[in-house]
Amino acid sequence: MLTYAILIACALICCALALNAWRLIIGPTTPDRIIAVDTMYINSIALIILLGIHQGSAIYYESALLIALLGFVSTSAFCKYLLRGDIIE
């Protein structure tokens, strides 16, 4: 049962990632693309955790944590760049 659940969850998250990529491509403005990237990193955390459950190894946890940290930092850096035209003042 768990195997099927993981397969279904993987399929749904891949659909979600495809929709985010669609929004990333069509835009229409830069802030829209930043939201798409922001959602994409959250979805990729879920995908990595699913891979960890599928293979039964706990070592993927660290990569998920790193993506969470770097994703937030990159989103705020993008926003700062849009707001000020500069990241470190």
Q: How many other C-beta atoms lie within 10 A of the C-beta of residue 20?
A: 20
State the nearest-atom distance from the C-beta of 9 to another protein, in Å.
4
* Contacting another protein within 1-60 (CB under 8 A): 1-2, 4-6, 8-10, 12-13, 15-17, 19-20, 22-23, 29-32, 34-36, 38-39, 42-43, 45-46, 49-50, 52-53, 56, 58
* Closest C-alpha to 46, from 57, 61, 35: 61
Q: Answer yes or no whether residue 63 interacts with another protein by CB under 8 A.
A: no
Question: What 3 state SS string does 6-47 have?
Answer: HHHHHHHHHHHHHHHHHHHHHCCCHHHHHHHHHHHHHHHHHH
Name every residue whose Cβ is closer than 8 Å to that of residue 48 and which is 6 or more positions away in sequence. 60, 63, 64, 67
Footprint of another protein (CB under 8 A): 1-2, 4-6, 8-10, 12-13, 15-17, 19-20, 22-23, 29-32, 34-36, 38-39, 42-43, 45-46, 49-50, 52-53, 56, 58, 61, 64-65, 68-69, 72, 75-76, 78-80, 82-83
